[in-house]
A and B are shown apart, each in its own frame.
Chain A
């Protein structure tokens, strides 16, 4: 073998060894890195949950379940009369439930064209009513979640928590039925937290759902908690009244004292714990709105007084005097309503003396001085309107007015055009023909089971 041949052969042989060795070395390094990465990559990428959002496991405790119940209750408070409140999300220009119905009825007016859409259009957006719809749904859903957690992780907690959650669900059912059309979705959360879609639930079905929820609440309500039981009784009565089952309602509230009131107290600070009326600048109490509206301001009734708190484009904004406080306690239900229900039931039985006595007794002992006794107007139509006028003044801005007007139309056959605002609104626009709002149009888009209202009847 020549030197040259030997050199070439050695070169090739050595080269192969060199390549083989280094490739092998590199493959080993990479293999080890991959193995290492594969073993521990899950650990590497695990990070704490973001602050401000709780791990579900943290709620699977006694205190966690109680917090959930408090959360649902907090949202309910916002729904009824609160402000920007939880999650920093505003309740919307139409206001919470205690105001929104009044805007659609004759208690309040806003400058937003949106609310007019809800009145006048059968396919347009109901505007500001969207947000309150979401809040109601959210309170309902969170209360359902809380019930699960209370059962699972806080079975030894005071039963009033469970009772409260059923009350929240029942009252939100009623709110939906009174503010919106017949055929409203009531979505919920499943045990694993996923969305349980529902289709259109009719107005009457919502009352029945509420009655069932109230019965559950009653089962858990402490026997010594008269306030809670009164609140439940008033809720059930409201559902029966909405169902036109007056005789079922009256006995329920008989034991409720006239002086009873279930109020939501707001702390006053921070702004998230203030009543909506204290912050808002866009809704005003109106007087004789749309021809048929009651003369809430000009009647100078001792039950109502108003402050002009601001102006919008030069138009004064009137707010009920007692509501313009950062610590205002908003009554959801009261013994006054119990007496009013009783009066209405008496009227339905044509017990005119009983009916008049009931109303006048309330005038005398309802806590407001200076109310003269009423006189029987002498015919059923006027007696009915008088009854509902009394309801309107006693229950001003408590979320009853729209339901009452709708009952007048639906249950008593009073023409809509004689009780709801009609005619010119402003800027050349007219009041519409609908007595209720529709769920947020996004519901149709994002809820596969919901296609819209069953009807827009009162």
Chain B
């Protein structure tokens, strides 16, 4: 009786309990689960109502196992049967349990004995040891599954005896052990998601174990990437979306990357990174798949290690959303600097990967804030082993290489001033000048004595160390950057200042008004719990200080110059375009401190369940300071009297995210995965600003200011969401996913239900289908489709009817006052983005060539628009009310082509081409809603959002034949005409890397082309009265007409300065050389690489301004060049050391 019973149980365990391994030598097995009791629980459905469910209470100290079993038997009346040969009855145990089922109490008692509880067919409860009686009719198959190229252990692969139900998944060490395999020849089939299936012949000898080592070849390395999703980690193959992944660790080490924008630029099709200025610390504007929002922030959201990072510009304006506040808020508008980007608070050295979820179909589970896309950042973590150090040292140089237009001045005879008078062509027309004798031209930006540009310097150091054991891993990184930008006090202005200040030395902050320093640190500790879970704690901290007064004004001021070096050193003499000595006279700094912490837990107690939890916080504090001492600035009265300003913004975001995934196999073909979770975020924004003016000479504080003002605001925002997702996996080649997400937010109107966002996606690895024709060149083909919704929150206070509380001086006393501030909208709801995307991934020539093509169609409904209240109601004292009134359509294509054509020892070549095109349209605007036409910007149904428009010049004619075009000789159309899109409509990036001498020496070049951008060259337009066309009688009539149209009064046109712009930029060129190991060892390094990296080395464009890429505003969609600082050309020498 005993033998069949034991055998039956063993067989059951082989089938249902893959953790149980049967020894081929018929010796006692070592179960993977403690004491071998867990499988019994799996199988204890037949114990329901059995004595094993009876509760027992034990308090046994240092008794024999025999005594313990007897006591359990006594309390539960089990009728327990066991043999002293099977059970180590003399073993001393201590058991303390209360009201525990007898089965579990037995588990406790038998722990570590390899003895298990079984229930016989007759209900008899027997204790057995996991043994297999020698059986000549069956054997076992055991072995390990490895990845072909990397030799990495493959876990989770299904190993099955073909034609039977004998199967098992490989464990964490890649091993498998199939039991009770009938003796004879068999075919073992090994399958794993993302790998080509393998079938091997094996012969099983009865009573023995056949050993196998199975090599699996990845279907496509690309498709095997693990993507961090809202439900946890998933294989790219399982997802129906195109998700751009940037391996930041690799990029940062080998490319001139200073910040997150550099990491993203031209590395992910559909992700446009638009620089705002060449100034140090200037931020960038990031748009994913075009513009989806009519108003409000169009930036994607940022998740760092599961924690929401606040990169919302408007939060740093105290929730006001006023973009001008993004500049140094404490400074007067005339000297405000380029805006920094909160995204750049993250140190690129800390990032392992960046994944960009480009639209609602991919970002559904991120809910009501994700319609603009999601940037998911995963920071670096430790790897087991001894401490591994890595050092990077950079030394860089920045140069201003842009070509600046010269200013012109005509000189002639004036009835009033006589000869040598400053004239213009229009002076000739009006009679203010009777003749022009000569024309001079000059630009202070191009002359070594007057230019405010010099070579800038930057130094960056980074050190990283990682290591640990299997139980505890660590990673630490620290970086420091110090830089002095290209702005400097011109020699001419130095002389002027010394003359004015009795040869007093010029302070360094005034000599170099654009400086930048940054210190960053990261710490990550990961603790693993026996392979069933881990907890990671990550802390990121950054402090940066930037000073950049007047950097966005100096070029524009120069464009208004005198046209002659002899007149005011070529600068304007008026007060509205001050020269550098004035622009740099105030001291302004912006300091940013940010800390982000996250605590992540993962728990995988079994193969079918994974739980995860993340809690964390993100804190950002920005303090702007400005001081202009009395008398230091002459062009602006408040500054002449002295001005002090300080603005403190801080934003705190708390995040919590919990979820779990259950994986349920259903037969051999299907596997179902259910994921569910909930998350919440709480954001606090605070702003305090102070301003003091009329400060006594030498004083620097608010205390001494004659008049002071204070402002404070505080707001907060909460979102709570949950989701559920179901994924069906058919034979690891077809994945169908459906999900629902619901988000409630405090910014929604009181009468709005929390929106529900659905998602559906399909990923089909069609090349694995039997019917798919096999081509040797074709490695894999995948089709994917995705459909999903996501939202975009209204502003924090958009739904609220608010009153402003202040005080006022009335009738001789200060009294509290209240005035209507905003009408509010109780029906305000999030914008809803609906996106369909489809595409295909091809892998050719064993992954040497991969092609990924995607088409998308994104519709944003309920677009949030804030139509102004009429001025007669009190705008701007009463704020516009946000309404859901528009619809925006974005369609586009994205292509990513990766190739590795040559991989020979002496020479390698690989390339990446990214192509994207976007068509953006405002398709609907509710009746009665009008959007502002901000000069050159207009929102017109049927055209791109925030397009550039202007009235056309219909013609010009020199009617009086004087050779000069006057304003009345230019005909301008009545209606505005579309010029170009608010953002580039297409982009092509091409990165090539060639390697020589076993890839020891590498050259990488990145070319970036962007086109379709409507650009308004406002800097040149406003300075056109200093242009040749305004001054020189020999200037063409056409150029005169363009200028005169701009200055025609009333109803002018900037036709000559609006254009659809395209440009190509050699963004990066890197030479890297791996130093010989012997050289590295001399400095005790295991590896050393020397790199020479160039940025922005060449620009090809027909644009009339200095740089088609820069604009002054990183927030709004409108894109214009007001004469901001062009991008600098940078060269950096870097040494990477590995220890």
B817, A71: Cβ atoms closer than 8 Å: yes
Residue from B709, B715, B816, B1050 in contact with A88 in the complex, judged by beta carbons closer than 8 Å: B709
Q: Which residues of B contact A71 (CB under 8 A)?
A: 804, 806, 808, 817-819
Q: Which residues of A contact B796 (CB under 8 A)?
A: 50
Q: Which residues of B contact A68 (CB under 8 A)?
A: 803, 817-819
Q: Mark A184-211, 1 if CB is under 8 A from B, else 0.
A: 1111110001110110000000000000
The yes or no answer to B922 lying at the interface (CB within 8 A) is no
The yes or no answer to B674 lying at the interface (CB within 8 A) is yes
B residues 658-689 touching A (CB-CB < 8 Å): 660, 662, 664, 666, 674, 676, 678, 680, 682
Q: Which residues of A contact B745 (CB under 8 A)?
A: 45
Q: Mark B641-667, 1 if CB is under 8 A from A, else 0.
A: 000000000000000000010101010
A residues 298-320 touching B (CB-CB < 8 Å): 310, 313
The yes or no answer to B319 lying at the interface (CB within 8 A) is yes
The yes or no answer to B535 lying at the interface (CB within 8 A) is no
The yes or no answer to B697 lying at the interface (CB within 8 A) is no
Q: How far is the CA of A53 from the CA of B8 in the complex (A)?
A: 75
Q: How far is the CA of A49 from the CA of B874 in the complex (A)?
A: 23
Q: Which residues of B contact A219 (CB under 8 A)?
A: none
B868, A272: Cβ atoms closer than 8 Å: no
Q: Mark A248-273, 1 if CB is under 8 A from B, else 0.
A: 00000000000000000111011111
Interface of A is mostly: helix
Residue of B nearest to A186 (CB): B872
The yes or no answer to A412 lying at the interface (CB within 8 A) is no
Q: How far is the CA of A37 from the CA of B658 in the complex (A)?
A: 13
Residue from B12, B817, B821, B823 in contact with A67 in the complex, judged by beta carbons closer than 8 Å: B817
The yes or no answer to B718 lying at the interface (CB within 8 A) is yes
Q: Which residues of B contact A75 (CB under 8 A)?
A: 819, 877
Given A138-B877, A187-B872, A446-B869, do A270 and B818 touch, yes or no (CB 8 Å)? Answer: no
A residues 122-141 touching B (CB-CB < 8 Å): 123-124, 130, 133-135, 137-139, 141
B802, A89: Cβ atoms closer than 8 Å: no
Say how far A314's CB is from chain B's closest CB, in angstroms: 9
Interface size (A, Cβ < 8 Å)? 102
The yes or no answer to A223 lying at the interface (CB within 8 A) is no
B12, A10: Cβ atoms closer than 8 Å: yes
A447, B711: Cβ atoms closer than 8 Å: no
The yes or no answer to A34 lying at the interface (CB within 8 A) is yes
Residue from A6, A14, A189 in contact with B43 in the complex, judged by beta carbons closer than 8 Å: A14
Q: Which residues of A contact B432 (CB under 8 A)?
A: 428
A313, B817: Cβ atoms closer than 8 Å: no
Residue from A17, A22, A310 in contact with B637 in the complex, judged by beta carbons closer than 8 Å: A310
B45, A74: Cβ atoms closer than 8 Å: no
Residue from A4, A30, A121, A447 in contact with B872 in the complex, judged by beta carbons closer than 8 Å: A447
A70, B873: Cβ atoms closer than 8 Å: no
A residues 1-23 touching B (CB-CB < 8 Å): 3-4, 6-8, 10-11, 14-15, 17-19, 22-23
The yes or no answer to A152 lying at the interface (CB within 8 A) is no
Q: Which residues of B contact A274 (CB under 8 A)?
A: 707
The yes or no answer to B165 lying at the interface (CB within 8 A) is yes
Q: How far is the CA of A113 from the CA of B711 in the complex (A)?
A: 32
The yes or no answer to A375 lying at the interface (CB within 8 A) is no
The yes or no answer to B820 lying at the interface (CB within 8 A) is yes
Q: Which residues of B contact A73 (CB under 8 A)?
A: 808, 810, 817
B residues 697-722 touching A (CB-CB < 8 Å): 707-709, 711-720, 722
Given A17-B45, A53-B802, A89-B876, do A74 and B817 touch, yes or no (CB 8 Å)? Answer: yes
Of A97-105, A385-393, A437-445, the one touching chain B? A437-445
Q: Which residues of B contact A74 (CB under 8 A)?
A: 806, 808, 810, 817, 819
Residue of A nearest to B800 (CB): A49
Say how far A244's CB is from chain B's closest CB, in angstroms: 26
Given A50-B716, A51-B712, A124-B1051, do A44 and B744 touch, yes or no (CB 8 Å)? Answer: yes
B876, A3: Cβ atoms closer than 8 Å: no
Q: Which residues of B contact A333 (CB under 8 A)?
A: none
Q: Which residues of B contact A47 (CB under 8 A)?
A: 682, 716-718, 746
The yes or no answer to B772 lying at the interface (CB within 8 A) is no
Q: Mark B241-254, 1 if CB is under 8 A from A, else 0.
A: 00000000000000
Residue of B nearest to A23 (CB): B664
The yes or no answer to B16 lying at the interface (CB within 8 A) is yes
B877, A134: Cβ atoms closer than 8 Å: yes
Which of A50, A141, A142, A447 has the most chain B CB within a 10 Å cutoff? A50
Q: How far is the CA of A49 from the CA of B870 in the complex (A)?
A: 26
The yes or no answer to A368 lying at the interface (CB within 8 A) is no
A residues 329-359 touching B (CB-CB < 8 Å): none
The yes or no answer to A56 lying at the interface (CB within 8 A) is yes
The yes or no answer to A117 lying at the interface (CB within 8 A) is yes
The yes or no answer to B871 lying at the interface (CB within 8 A) is yes
The yes or no answer to B608 lying at the interface (CB within 8 A) is yes
The yes or no answer to A177 lying at the interface (CB within 8 A) is no
Q: Which residues of A contact B45 (CB under 8 A)?
A: 14, 17-18
Q: Which residues of A contact B800 (CB under 8 A)?
A: 49-50, 53
Residue of B nearest to A124 (CB): B1050
Q: How far is the CA of A402 from the CA of B1109 in the complex (A)?
A: 49
B871, A137: Cβ atoms closer than 8 Å: yes
Q: Which residues of B contact A447 (CB under 8 A)?
A: 870, 872
Q: How far is the CA of A54 from the CA of B802 in the complex (A)?
A: 6
The yes or no answer to A425 lying at the interface (CB within 8 A) is no
A442, B1050: Cβ atoms closer than 8 Å: no
A19, B874: Cβ atoms closer than 8 Å: no
B12, A11: Cβ atoms closer than 8 Å: yes
B residues 808-832 touching A (CB-CB < 8 Å): 808-812, 814-824
The yes or no answer to A33 lying at the interface (CB within 8 A) is yes
Residue from A45, A50, A113, A443 in contact with B744 in the complex, judged by beta carbons closer than 8 Å: A45
Q: How far is the CA of A453 from the CA of B662 in the complex (A)?
A: 69
Q: Which residues of B contact A440 (CB under 8 A)?
A: 871
Q: Which residues of A contact B682 (CB under 8 A)?
A: 47
Residue from A186, A267, A448 in contact with B809 in the complex, judged by beta carbons closer than 8 Å: A267
Given A7-B12, A30-B676, A67-B817, do A185 and B872 touch, yes or no (CB 8 Å)? Answer: yes
Q: How far is the CA of A85 from the CA of B807 in the complex (A)?
A: 10
Q: How far is the CA of A10 from the CA of B17 in the complex (A)?
A: 13
Q: Which residues of B contact A10 (CB under 8 A)?
A: 12, 15
Q: Which residues of B contact A63 (CB under 8 A)?
A: 816
B319, A50: Cβ atoms closer than 8 Å: yes
B residues 767-824 touching A (CB-CB < 8 Å): 796-797, 800-806, 808-812, 814-824
A138, B874: Cβ atoms closer than 8 Å: yes
Say how far A327's CB is from chain B's closest CB, in angstroms: 10
Q: How far is the CA of A280 from the CA of B717 in the complex (A)?
A: 39
Given A53-B822, A70-B808, do A11 and B869 touch, yes or no (CB 8 Å)? Answer: no
B874, A142: Cβ atoms closer than 8 Å: yes
B714, A7: Cβ atoms closer than 8 Å: no
A51, B709: Cβ atoms closer than 8 Å: no
Which of B430, B800, B802, B806 has the most chain A CB within a 10 Å cutoff? B806
Residue from B713, B871, B1049 in contact with A51 in the complex, judged by beta carbons closer than 8 Å: B713
Say how far A101's CB is from chain B's closest CB, in angstroms: 18
The yes or no answer to B930 lying at the interface (CB within 8 A) is yes
The yes or no answer to A42 lying at the interface (CB within 8 A) is yes
The yes or no answer to B4 lying at the interface (CB within 8 A) is yes
Residues on A close to B: CB < 8 A?
Answer: 3-4, 6-8, 10-11, 14-15, 17-19, 22-23, 26, 29-30, 33-34, 37, 41-42, 44-56, 58-59, 63-64, 67-68, 70-75, 77, 85-89, 113, 117, 121, 123-124, 130, 133-135, 137-139, 141-142, 145, 184-189, 193-195, 197-198, 265-267, 269-274, 281, 310, 313, 428-429, 439-440, 442-443, 445-448, 450
Which 3 pairs, one residue from A and one from B, show the smallest C-beta to C-beta distance?
A138-B874, A50-B715, A74-B808
| Cβ contacts A to B, 14 pairs, < 8 Å | A4-B11, A8-B165, A23-B664, A33-B676, A50-B716, A50-B800, A53-B800, A71-B808, A71-B819, A85-B808, A134-B876, A188-B873, A273-B809, A310-B637
- Using A19-B666, A44-B744, A54-B818 as known contacts, list a sample of 7 further A-B pairs with CB atoms less than 8 Å apart, ordered by residue number in A: A7-B15, A49-B800, A67-B816, A68-B819, A71-B804, A71-B818, A138-B873
